[in-house]
Amino acid sequence: MTIYYSLTFFLLAAEMGTFCLIVLPLPHTVKKRVFSFLSTSPFVAKIAYALKISFIFVGILFFDALQRMFRVTAEAELAKSGQQGVSDVRTETNLAARKFYSQRNVYLTGFTLFLSLVLTRTFSIILDLIQAQDELLKHNGELDSSKELEKLRKKADESDTLKRDLEKAHRDLETLKSQALSQAAEYDRLSDDYNKASGSSPRSKSD
């Protein structure tokens, strides 16, 4: 394997490791800090820029490997059909090895490019998910605050109702007192009138 395909293999392994790390079931707080750092760090941005350039070269390698695979496959088909008169075992083995290596290079570069797209999309989806969870937590907090406010309002309404009931009871008590005083005064007046009519001494109000 040449040096650039070896580097492509290491890049693919790094992508696989990164994908496993970002899909780990971490707590929301930890995941938010990690992804906030990855999305805002200048150092990570420089690494991402370098990786984008490297993926351009991987794309060039992919198309080159694809052309070689088609060419080697065509040569192998010609060799099998006997159009070139090739019957040597060594030549057939060489063609089979070239076909294998060309297919390996196509799969290696193709999976590297595909996994880069998957990583980019997964990263953006997780960021959107974190933002949605933050908004949900904020909304739940607002709902809790509104519920607490509603409870306080209900308690205030109940307090106002009790206050009105107490005021009404106080007014009723004052009314009863005034009625009792009026009845007592009327009773004293009637007693005095009765005593005067019967010739007895009038009762004092102090009695």
Q: What is the pLDDT of residues 86-119, one digit of tens each?
A: 456 677 788 788 888 888 889 999 999 999 999 8
Which residue carries 């009773």 as its tokens? Answer: 187
Tokens of 25: 């079931």
Q: Give the chain's domain count.
A: 1
Distance of CA 31 to the CA centre of its chain: 11
Reported as a single tens digit per residue, the pLDDT across 122-175 is: 888 888 888 888 888 787 776 666 667 777 777 777 777 777 878 887 787 888
Confidence band (pLDDT; 50, 70, 90) for 205?
very low
Q: For residue 194, is it within any domain? A: no
**Choice among 35-44, 115-124, 185-194 with the minimum mean pLDDT:** 185-194
The answer, yes or no, to whether residue 207 has pLDDT greater than 70, is no
Amino acid identity at 85: G
Q: For residue 27, is it within any domain? A: yes
- Count the neighbouring beta carbons within 10 Å of the beta carbon of residue 116: 19
Confidence band (pLDDT; 50, 70, 90) for 202?
very low
Q: For residue 174, is it within any domain? A: no
Q: For residue 192, is it within any domain? A: no
- More confident site: 191 or 127: 127
Q: For residue 91, is it within any domain? A: yes
| Integer CA distances (angstroms), 188 to 118, 174, 178, 179, in order | 103, 21, 15, 14
Q: What span, in angstroms and rounded, lies between the C-alpha atoms of 7 and 4?
A: 5
**Dihedral of the alpha carbons of 188, 191, 197, 199, in degrees to the nearest 10:** -100
pLDDT at 114: 92
Amino acid identity at 90: R
Q: What span, in angstroms and rounded, lies between the C-alpha atoms of 5 and 105?
A: 7
Confidence band (pLDDT; 50, 70, 90) for 176?
confident
Q: For residue 55, is it within any domain? A: yes
Structural domain including 133 reads: 3-153
Q: For residue 101, is it within any domain? A: yes
